[in-house]
Structure 1
Amino acid sequence: MRTKKKNSASKHFTYTCYFSHIGLFGASGTTTGKSSIKICKFLGDISYPLYMVHYPFMYLFYAWVWQENLTFTQIWPITLLLFLGTILVAYLFLKLYDEPFRKWLSKKLLMKS
């Protein structure tokens, strides 16, 4: 019982302190080079679409790996393709759905005011 309380306390500490500091350090950084600014903008733009589309891909991938009992050496090329493919799908989702919807929604809301 005592170990369970320690584990709970350590999880609480980790979630509240450690992860919040990671976010703080990431948000307080600055970029100065043109290429790093472009990369950061691209990653920031696709972050939410990537969050939305990666779940189905990952669940199907994990189910396949688990069912076939595959090793790392067997799956690393597919993992790389999945990584790049997920970024591509997120980008397409951003350009074909997210940005047009936000533009339409902005016009709709600005017309009312």
Structure 2
Amino acid sequence: MTPGQQAETLAQRYLEQQGLTFVERNVRYPFGEIDLVMRHQKYWVFVEVKYRSANQFGGALQALSKAQIGRIRKAASHYLQIQRLDVPCRFDVVAMDEGQIQWLVDAF
């Protein structure tokens, strides 16, 4: 298991402990990827997991670019269309730096 896959597993467990329900993982399209799809109350939550083993390049939160946000939004829109879902959704980020977890609800 790669460090990224381990981070996604830890993020999933953490979010489940916070009351979210797991739906799907690593949803990939040619134009974008969703790390985790979860449910939280009435929301479908698309989660981007960011992991950095060291802060020398700015940490996990700084690793999320505008282009990447655009790809995640496009992938989520496509996911909702394919699943025929007309539901409220949000985009969360789980950032992991040196063993610490930060959960940003409705991050973008």
State whether TM-score is above 0.5.
Answer: no
User: If you compute each CA radius of gyration, which structure gives the higher value, 1 or 2?
Assistant: 1
Flag the structure with higher helix content. 1
Flag the structure with higher strand content. 2
- Higher relative contact order structure (alpha carbons within 8 Å, sequence separation ≥ 6): 1
